Amino acid sequence: MSKEEGFFLLASPRLARYFSEYASYHRTPGNKWTHYFGITFILTSLLGLLGRLPIGFEGIFGLTYFRLDGGTFLIGCLFICYSILDWKIAIPFIFILLGFYFFGRALPIYFDWVLFCTGWILQGIGHSVYEQNLPAFFNNLTHLFIGPLWIFARVIRYR
């Protein structure tokens, strides 16, 4: 068993397979670090930008901070997908996503765009300079959703 495979011993078999495949595209320390920051920037800014797109009525019980919008819709969809893969990591990760959402919504819109572009530039640097391969989502779009969870699992040492 490789070090990377042993890292996620508690993960469900399905999630462990996704993590193993994703990890095969992210082997070098430089690429991992650019992804830690890049994915965080992208996710925070994306949730912040989508949070500016209300869906239906404005606010729940008249509270503008709790409303259905593009960001909360994405968080809900991610939570369902992550829970199907492994509920034990999905539950704590939802709180991280909510933190990213509220932080991204609080930022000025231009700063969300700067973070979004910077995040993708970091991703490109990680793959072109350190890994010298294409991003994993070029071969499998589900990796766009696995990346944030993979980083979270590594940070909390989900074993």
Quote the pLDDT of residue 1: 43
Please tell me the distance from the alpha carbon of residue 109 to that of residue 131, in angstroms, as a whole number: 32
Domain that holds residue 108: 28-155
Please tell me the distance from the alpha carbon of residue 79 to that of residue 111, in angstroms, as a whole number: 26
Please tell me the distance from the alpha carbon of residue 122 to that of residue 145, in angstroms, as a whole number: 17
Q: Which amino acid is at 50?
A: L
* Whether the Cβ atoms of residue 54 and residue 125 lie closer than 8 Å to each other: no
Please tell me the distance from the alpha carbon of residue 146 to that of residue 87, in angstroms, as a whole number: 14
Residue 12 lies in a domain: no
* Whether the Cβ atoms of residue 75 and residue 98 lie closer than 8 Å to each other: yes
Quote the pLDDT of residue 132: 80
Quote the pLDDT of residue 14: 86
Please tell me the distance from the alpha carbon of residue 61 to that of residue 67, in angstroms, as a whole number: 9
Residue 16 lies in a domain: no
- pTM (2 decimals)? 0.84
Residue 23 lies in a domain: no
Which residues of the chain fall below pLDDT 50? 1-2, 4-8
Quote the pLDDT of residue 133: 80
Residues making up the chain, counted from first to last: 159
Residue 89 lies in a domain: yes
| pLDDT tens-place string over residues 115-129 | 999 999 999 898 888
Residue 33 lies in a domain: yes
Looking at the 3D structure of the chain, how many domains does it have?
1
